[in-house]
Copies of this chain bind each other. A is one copy, B any other.
Amino acid sequence: MALIGILGGMGPLATVDFMDRVVRLTSTAGAACDQQHLPLLIANLPHIPDRSKAMLEAGEDPLPAMLDGIDMLNRNGVELIAIPCNSAHYWFDAIRGHSKAPILHIAETCVAAVPHGTRRVAVLATGGTLHSELYQKMLSARGMEPVVPDDATQQRIDACIVAVKAGEFGESALQLAAALADLKARGAQAAVMGCTEIPLAARELSAPPMTLVDSTLELARATVSYALARGWNTRQ
């Protein structure tokens, strides 16, 4: 039995959303009973220090706690790891170098899903991820122009993320809607939701003003594809 490891808790509701996506995508792919689903081992470790604060304000380094989680998953024999937190991918090379099991890269899956022909793509992410330029570099490398929020818009995105983490979805949606209006006015044709809290706010919007590409969903798609291609939904 091949297990998929998930390093989660960053944040916990985003991990729930990721797991929900994996299960529903597996159903859509044909699973009609429990036994046709994928075995998962989810280490939901919310005590990992804040990733964005570590990048922006020299806050406590989250890497040791993340590596502890990666060790736990590997000790249990997982054969693939997914990390449904974009900011954590700032430390991707160190995490990948530490792990026996291969790790999918959330931003690679997300950027690959931007609709063909899109030119100007807004980056919705934590201040830390934005500062790391992870998404900006990947979009540019694929010939797209990243639209980076100005300070006032980024404050709205930060407030949206904090509100989701506190379970305040109405507030999160208000902040996100205002940020998207700003970014549309600046010519963005689509946006990557490069923080796994943002899709939970976006779900509250009745009509987003542009195409929103969901990093949680795209990581889940890549995870399910990887596993189904290897028959991990069949008991072995």
Please give the residue numbers on chain A whose beta carbons come within 8 Å of chain B beta carbons, in ascending order.
1, 9-13, 15-16, 19-20, 23-24, 26-28, 31-50, 72, 75-76, 162, 165-167, 235
Contact = CB atoms under 8 A, between A and B. Distances in A.
A39 B35 contact: no
Nearest 9 A/B pairs, CB to CB: A27-B167, A37-B46, A42-B42, A40-B44, A47-B235, A34-B46, A11-B34, A12-B23, A32-B166
Report how many copies the assembly holds: 2
A45 to B, nearest CB: 6
B16 A34 contact: no
A40 B10 CA distance: 12
Contacts of A38: 12, 44, 46
Contact of A47 (B28, B35, B72, B165): B35
Contacts of A72: 41, 76
16 contacts: A9-B39, A9-B40, A11-B34, A12-B26, A12-B37, A13-B23, A13-B24, A16-B16, A32-B165, A35-B50, A36-B46, A37-B44, A37-B46, A40-B44, A41-B44, A72-B76
A35 B46 contact: yes
Given A16-B23, A27-B166, 6 more contacts: A16-B19, A19-B19, A33-B165, A35-B49, A42-B44, A47-B235
